[in-house]
Amino acid sequence: MNKSQSHIDKIGWQFDNTYTKLPDNMFSKLSPIPVEAPEVVIFNHTLSKEMGLDFSNINNEDLALIFSGNLLPKGSETIAQAYAGHQFGHFTMLGDGRAIVIGEHISKNNKRFDIQFKGSGKTPYSRNADGRAALGPMLREYIVSEAMHDLGIPTTRSLAVVKTGETVMRETPLQGAILTRVASSHIRVGTFQYTVFSKDKNDLKIFFDYTIKRHYPHIKNSKNPAIELLKIVIEKQIKLVTDWMRVGFIHGVMNTDNMAISGETIDYGPCAFMDTYDPETVFSSIDYHGRYAYFNQPSITRWNLERFAESLVPLIDDNKDKAVEIATEIINSFAEKYKKNWFEMMQKKLGLIGEESKDENLIIDLLSWMHQNKADYTNTFCFLMNENIQENKIYQNQEFISWKNQWQERLKLHNNSPEKSLKLMRLANPLVIPRNHKVEEALSAATNNNDLTKIRKLLKVLQNPYKNNSEIADYQYAPPPSNEKYKTFCGT
């Protein structure tokens, strides 16, 4: 055993790779393709400690070998997962085209994590792609996924980004990189869709039982576990998309293969955060018709859940018509449940305690004013919390002042106090988000100048998004007006 391998074995990896026990057609066994000159760009020490891993005796050279896939830890079993998905509404068979799960790590508090390399080379599912990833998009996922975690929104996490020392060709030559992603699993709606189209009809039941055991063992012995799973996933996805709407997050590519059964946000390709409030905001360069626009996210969530329900039909009841009827009734509960969650979320953003018949109008009137006056989404709520923000002249608008007077009268009801409202609002409204122009500035410095200073500062500021401090002021303002529309890309 060489010295590097000896050190790696003392990190604390505890692999228990259950996915590899599934039918062979659910994955492909293969190793990451070695890279030329791996170099650590950024490493998440906080996350590694949460996972019970100790890298204190690992130097940067060995760290780079590990997280490039050049030197795998003992107990790892590297696989690319197969799945399907509706991409922009069109069904296709898919799989990990540039990602490899190296294993399932069990932390000291008995939590199970998939450890996945993203950008680790070609797989049987790569189609015509090279299986590699560029540094900019991998750093973007690191920044945004960690920001989402700190915002309190369920998400996959990022453990490391390593440069490969190789060039990847997109429109221009770019630096290659590998991201290490951590997730409670990579089981997707699209994975269930894949099993339905499998040649072996038992695959769906085997995979369903696996998912229950891994994520929701408490429903195993219920009267109808398939119905219970559908209900749970609906609840989790409603909570997730409500959180996205709360902070102005736009996922950008809500295909069914990007909806995780765990309820975590997964895949940060063309994602971004809304500055000026506009329900039709779209950032993705390939979303030509606004399918995944900000205001469409709830309806797309429902659409994806309908596809999930279709996958479960054979398990809900032997009588297909009855199964469809049951699934339809459950799916039809989505609209009311989402509206209830969204309404309660907006009440918290405005510090409203109790319920009044005019609350919905109060909320809609504010959003309409924000839209008409191109107000900043995040900063409007900051202003209502008496935060001193830049460019607050817009809130001297007479229509806004009139609305604010109504709001303040509403706050006095139900034995409320200003302190109670402010406490509620501070839990719901971030003072700082990953502003797109700040993310781009940080990525540009890192990719063009090999300067991580701006990324580290941005990550530090985003660690406590609900607390004010002297460092956040420069990260709270929207970018200067521009005729050029901000666009994001899938980063493939």
Distance CA 30, CA 78 (A): 6
Distance CA 489, CA 353 (A): 41
Q: Which residues pair with 43 in a beta bridge?
A: 160
The CA-based dihedral angle spanning residues 422, 427, 428, 434, taken in that order and rounded to the nearest 10 degrees: 120
CB distance 120 to 181 below 8 Å: no
Distance CA 275, CA 60 (A): 38
**C-alpha pair distances (Å), 230 with each of 45, 130, 321, 337, 487:** 36, 36, 17, 14, 35
Distance CA 405, CA 392 (A): 17
Distance CA 442, CA 467 (A): 22
**C-alpha pair distances (Å), 241 with each of 127, 254, 294:** 31, 11, 10
Is 209 assigned a catalytic role? no
Q: What is the bridge-based pairing of β-strands 79-87 and 90-95?
A: antiparallel
| Longest CA span, the chain | 74
Choose the catalytic residue: 96, 257, 275, 376: 257
Which is it for the CA torsion 252, 257, 261, 267, positive or negative?
A: negative
Distance CA 39, CA 161 (A): 9
Distance CA 95, CA 457 (A): 35
Distance CA 322, CA 84 (A): 26
Angle CA 377–296–357, to nearest 5: 65
Distance CA 29, CA 324 (A): 36
Distance CA 313, CA 318 (A): 9
| Pair of tokens at residue 368 | 């309409």
How many CA atoms lie less than 13 Å away from 180 in the CB half-sphere? Answer: 28
Distance CA 180, CA 198 (A): 29
Distance CA 278, CA 373 (A): 10
CB distance 38 to 162 below 8 Å: yes
In single-letter form, the type of residue at position 226 comes to A
| Pair of tokens at residue 33 | 């393709």
Q: Which residues are catalytic?
A: 257
